[in-house]
A and B are shown apart, each in its own frame.
Chain A
Amino acid sequence: MPNKKSTLKSESAVASKRLEVLKTYKIYIGGQFPRTESGRYYIALNQKGKKLANVCLSSRKDIRDAVESSRNAFGSWSSRAAFNRGQILYRMAEMLEGRKEQFIQEMTEMDATRIQAEKEVHLSIDRLIYYAGWADKYQQVFSSVNPVASSHFNFSTPEPMGVVGIIAPQQTSLIGMVSLIASVIAGGNTCVVIGSYPKPLCAVTLAEVLHASDLPGGVVNILTGNPAELTSWLAGHMDVNSIVFCEKDDALTKVIQEKSALNVKRVQLYQTNNWLDDSSQSPYYIYDFQEIKTTWHPVELTAGGGNKY
């Protein structure tokens, strides 16, 4: 909405110019785009004080709905072939590439320079490709066949944790959120994401990209709103397996850690990451959201084989 403030400059402008159609920014739950059930909104402003949009101020009920659809999507998403998950992540990158101008425009409205915006969008596309590649490889890096002393075939493999709550990095509008979504879903988890509170536009537009990317509804759910309010609901939800927090906010961190103890959530804190740097991408961001499963199976012992060529 670049011209919201200036649309009423003069009568003649109104008469001669085409009136821009403004987008209603919605949230993304279970593959659908509702407004928040609470009906609440907040006005996103840029640094110059320009009004950007009436953004959904999501509620506890929205969190619950999003967790529910995340849980519903988990079974089929986690049991898809890893290769297929990789294909879908790649498709997300393709879609983002095709709509990158829209993101660049939104970022520049939210105070980025065009060069910064281009860099961040390009990096976000490449990061999706990076994790698309990992989808069928991290298992090979983190699995092991364990040479136990008894006659057993024993192996350990990673499996997704389940539903992951992501409080997206608040200072970037796209790259932080994309990095975390990609590593979490590449590993077969589903997620509920709270986008950047001060820079919310790209979170909603990203949902539109995901929606057009063969990604099943519910695998990624994106809410906008105030993390200070929503985080404790997310951290306290009994159907969330893991939660990610990236801000240097000691009080909120403690709330997350305490609430997580309710159902032994795995808490990941990425508070020193520079998401714009390649050091913030690695298979360890997939590993952080994996359980390790070890299987034992007996091996018969017979004669035969042995010394032969």
Chain B
Amino acid sequence: MAVKKRSNTVRLKFETEWKYDPAPESKNIAQIRDRYELFINGAFVKPLSRKYMPTINPATEEKLSEVAEAGNADVNLAVKSARTAYNKYWKKLNGKERSKYIFRIARMLQEKAREFAVIESLDGGKPIRESRDFDVPTAANHFFYYAGWADKLEYAFPNRKAEPLGVAGQIIPWNFPLLMAAWKIAPALATGNTVVLKPAETTPLTALKLAELIQEADLPPGVVNIITGAGATGAAIVQHPDINKIAFTGSTDVGKLIQKAIAGTSKKATLELGGKAANIIFDDAPLDQAVEGVINGIFFNQGHVCCAGSRLYVQESVYKIVLRKLKDRLATLIVGDPLDKNTDIGAINSKQQLETIHRYIQIGKQEGAEMYQSECALPRKGFFCRPTLFTNVAQSSRIAQEEIFGPVLTIQTFRTEEEVIEKANNTPFGLSAGVWTDKGSKIFNMTSKLRAGVVWANTYNKFDPTSPFGGYKESGFGREGGLHGLSSYVHLSF
């Protein structure tokens, strides 16, 4: 039932008149082994380190499985197998046949999409709606897209011969575990490299399922090696002398460590690091659409998104109405069971991350910003956080400067285009930005002035295999996706 407020928006009273029945996706489709070994040279092998670590469901804190923790000797084996596969099979295989292997991976991933989606939500906490409709299909599409490039590289780099770099060491984060694996593996294979990939320590399962799938697709052994572990395993990959290329997605702090660690070596790198994107609403924007975009921009995947629109800039003349609409919309967001199809915001990925978010919320309050949270109920077990807004935020405030990586939005105002360009660019990051206005010429002015690798106009958080993604400044370098994503994995010779 609708209740009229004094503002011109209508607030729906969900808590009294409407109730959603639970609509959980079945877990039965997910086949998860009790223990996963390392995927090296086409087989699952026990780690020489003999160590294992548990992986839990962040929504229930229950253990899902345990995975091997690769030590230095294991990393050595994986790199050796990737090197052998590179020399023995992959380098010699023509693009046409390489292409068909990658198409196979894409198709099998489509065939098993639902299972991957359920495991992604179980292991990482993201809503099933997102893993089912975004993560898994986009991952499959990425393989499909890059598969097609494998025998067409001469058109991507006219007048040059594109040669593979060799063995790529790839380290991926926990926010989009399968999708990031696809972003890394697909272009590397298409360009003729072999791979040692390490998924994040809290979300290893879909990468390991992908290893099973790659085995099933009958890729030559060693072309893709997937090894699990924590920071030390990642460091061993970065420092391994027989790796030609490091591809890393993660925090800016770790990215800087990697850049330093490979200094003085011939290793190439792409770094896709943190962000603190400005999402800018002008007074001529379609406001309801803009509010939806802001909600999606910051609460998609619990805000665990490097390109999340975490700094909202609203033109002063529409500030009040935008804030009202945002709060109304916030009240309708459902936080809870990631496997429930009605859930908008799932579980925070780990206890550690939940603590980080809580710490930043405290900092925001201490700095004098005003906090607003929705009143939704939270599950008793698991790691959950209410969607949170901060108003009265200073440009210098830490919550407006540092990446929180959670469902926390800071809101500031501006009067002129010049002012908002200045404020939006006033950050060491430069991954993405959003602009909301009905005026096309303003959009293109903004996109040319904003120092960010991706600018969304009247939309937000859109991704496509054909579209390059990556940052300016301390958000990293190199691009993933599209034609430009190929450059990261080739050496161009005449």
A interface vs B, CB < 8 Å? 82-83, 86-87, 90, 126, 129-130, 132-137, 140-141, 153, 283, 297-305, 308-309
Please name 20 further chain A to chain B contacts, defined as beta carbons within 8 Å, in addition to the given A137-B145, A299-B441, sorted by A numbering.
A82-B466, A86-B144, A90-B144, A133-B147, A133-B152, A137-B149, A137-B155, A140-B482, A141-B155, A283-B155, A298-B441, A298-B444, A300-B441, A302-B417, A304-B418, A305-B421, A305-B450, A308-B422, A308-B425, A309-B451
CB distance from B359 to the nearest CB of A (A): 27
Among B24-32, B95-103, B299-307, which stretch is in contact with chain A? B95-103
Residues in chain B near residue A299, CB distance under 8 A: 441, 444-445, 448
Contact indicator A133/B483 (Cβ below 8 Å): no
Pairs A–B under 8 Å by Cβ, sample size 23: A83-B145, A83-B466, A90-B107, A129-B96, A130-B96, A133-B149, A133-B150, A133-B152, A135-B148, A136-B148, A137-B152, A137-B483, A140-B482, A141-B156, A283-B155, A299-B441, A300-B441, A300-B444, A302-B445, A304-B417, A304-B418, A304-B422, A305-B449
What per-residue 1/0 map shows which CB atoms of B427-444 lie under 8 Å from chain A?
010000000000111101
Contact indicator B421/A304 (Cβ below 8 Å): yes
B151 interface contact, C-beta 8 A:
yes
B141 interface contact, C-beta 8 A:
yes
Residues in chain B near residue A297, CB distance under 8 A: 440-441, 444
Residues in chain A near residue B151, CB distance under 8 A: 130, 133
Residues in chain A near residue B267, CB distance under 8 A: none
Contact indicator B144/A83 (Cβ below 8 Å): yes
Closest to A152 in B: B444
B473 interface contact, C-beta 8 A:
yes
Residues in chain A near residue B149, CB distance under 8 A: 133, 137
Instruction: Kindly state the separation between the CA atoms of A302 and B449 in the bound complex, as whole angstroms.
Output: 9
Cβ-closest 9 pairs across A and B: A133-B148, A305-B449, A304-B421, A300-B445, A304-B418, A299-B444, A300-B441, A298-B441, A153-B444
Contact indicator A90/B417 (Cβ below 8 Å): no
Residues in chain B near residue A126, CB distance under 8 A: 96, 100
Contact indicator B103/A129 (Cβ below 8 Å): yes
CB distance from B134 to the nearest CB of A (A): 15
Instruction: Kindly state the separation between the CA atoms of A283 and B440 in the bound complex, as whole angstroms.
Output: 33
Contact indicator A301/B445 (Cβ below 8 Å): yes
Instruction: Kindly state the separation between the CA atoms of A90 and B100 in the bound complex, as whole angstroms.
Output: 10
CB distance from B188 to the nearest CB of A (A): 17
Contact indicator A132/B145 (Cβ below 8 Å): no
Closest to B423 in A: A304
Question: Known contacts A153-B444, A283-B155, A308-B451: does B148 contact A137 (CB below 8 Å)?
Answer: yes
Contact indicator A304/B449 (Cβ below 8 Å): yes
Contact indicator B425/A305 (Cβ below 8 Å): yes
Instruction: Kindly state the separation between the CA atoms of A303 and B440 in the bound complex, as whole angstroms.
Output: 17
Residues in chain A near residue B141, CB distance under 8 A: 83
Closest to B150 in A: A133
CB distance from A216 to the nearest CB of B (A): 20
Instruction: Kindly state the separation between the CA atoms of A102 and B449 in the bound complex, as whole angstroms.
Output: 60
Contact indicator A136/B466 (Cβ below 8 Å): yes
Residues in chain B near residue A137, CB distance under 8 A: 145, 148-149, 152, 155, 466, 483
Residues in chain A near residue B156, CB distance under 8 A: 141
CB distance from B275 to the nearest CB of A (A): 15
Residues in chain A near residue B445, CB distance under 8 A: 299-302
Contact indicator B444/A303 (Cβ below 8 Å): no
CB distance from B482 to the nearest CB of A (A): 7
Instruction: Kindly state the separation between the CA atoms of A299 and B448 in the bound complex, as whole angstroms.
Output: 9
CB distance from B341 to the nearest CB of A (A): 25
- Centre residue among A297, A300, A304 by max chain B CB count within 10 A: A304
Residues in chain A near residue B450, CB distance under 8 A: 305
Instruction: Kindly state the separation between the CA atoms of A304 and B449 in the bound complex, as whole angstroms.
Output: 7
Contact indicator B441/A303 (Cβ below 8 Å): no
Question: Known contacts A134-B152, A304-B449: does B99 contact A129 (CB below 8 Å)?
Answer: yes
CB distance from A208 to the nearest CB of B (A): 22
Chain B positions 101-154 with a Cβ under 8 Å from a chain A Cβ: 103, 107, 141, 144-145, 147-152
Contact indicator B466/A140 (Cβ below 8 Å): yes
Closest to A297 in B: B440
Residues in chain B near residue A129, CB distance under 8 A: 96, 99-100, 103
Residues in chain A near residue B150, CB distance under 8 A: 133
Instruction: Kindly state the separation between the CA atoms of A134 and B144 in the bound complex, as whole angstroms.
Output: 11
Instruction: Kindly state the separation between the CA atoms of A134 and B147 in the bound complex, as whole angstroms.
Output: 10
Residues in chain B near residue A132, CB distance under 8 A: 148
